[in-house]
């Protein structure tokens, strides 16, 4: 799977969730069957939506790079974001009783993208050099 496809897929998912959180956080919560948000939660959801949208735009722009070496730091940023997202969503799914079963979608999306960006990072020239057995001085 090439980096362009993965970045564009992440951009698509990011813009869908980002716009939903920016302009309709309560509707998204209802779609999940989750509790409604209070005013502070709504504001935080809208801010998170703006960040997801920004990440989506960055990923789409990076998808146009002809070589993965040019977007090494974008790969690292995505890998960290999706790995942390996976840990947080899994923890909440397992430990917080009020999280609906429909939120397993978030766990799966974060795990899937963490794996894909991990693959891209290891396949990139910088990731390969960093983790190869022979280290040159």
User: Where exactly are the structural domains of the chain?
Assistant: 3-131
pLDDT at 81: 97
pLDDT at 10: 98
Tens place of pLDDT per residue across the chain (137 aa): 789 999 999 999 999 999 999 999 999 999 999 888 999 999 999 999 999 999 999 999 999 998 888 898 999 999 999 999 999 999 999 999 999 999 999 999 999 999 999 999 988 876 656 565 555 55
SS3 80: helix
pLDDT at 128: 58
pLDDT at 104: 97
Global pTM reads 0.87
d(CA 51, CA 42): 14
Cα 108 → chain centroid: 11
SS3 2: coil
Q: Are the C-beta atoms of 53 and 14 separated by less than 8 Å?
A: yes
């Amino acid at each position: 799977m090439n980096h362009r496809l993965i970045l564009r897929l992440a951009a698509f998912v990011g813009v869908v969730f980002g716009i939903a959180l920016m302009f309709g956080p309560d509707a998204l919560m209802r779609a999940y069957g989750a509790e409604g948000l209070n005013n502070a939660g709504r504001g935080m959801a809208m801010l998170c939506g703006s960040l997801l949208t920004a990440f989506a735009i960055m990923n789409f722009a990076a998808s146009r790079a002809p070589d993965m070496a040019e977007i090494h730091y974008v790969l690292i940023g995505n890998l960290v974001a999706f790995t942390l997202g996976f840990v947080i969503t899994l923890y909440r799914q397992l430990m917080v009783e009020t999280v609906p079963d429909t939120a397993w979608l978030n766990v799966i999306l974060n795990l899937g993208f963490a794996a894909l960006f991990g693959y891209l990072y290891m396949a990139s020239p910088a990731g390969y050099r960093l983790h190869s057995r022979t280290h040159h001085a």
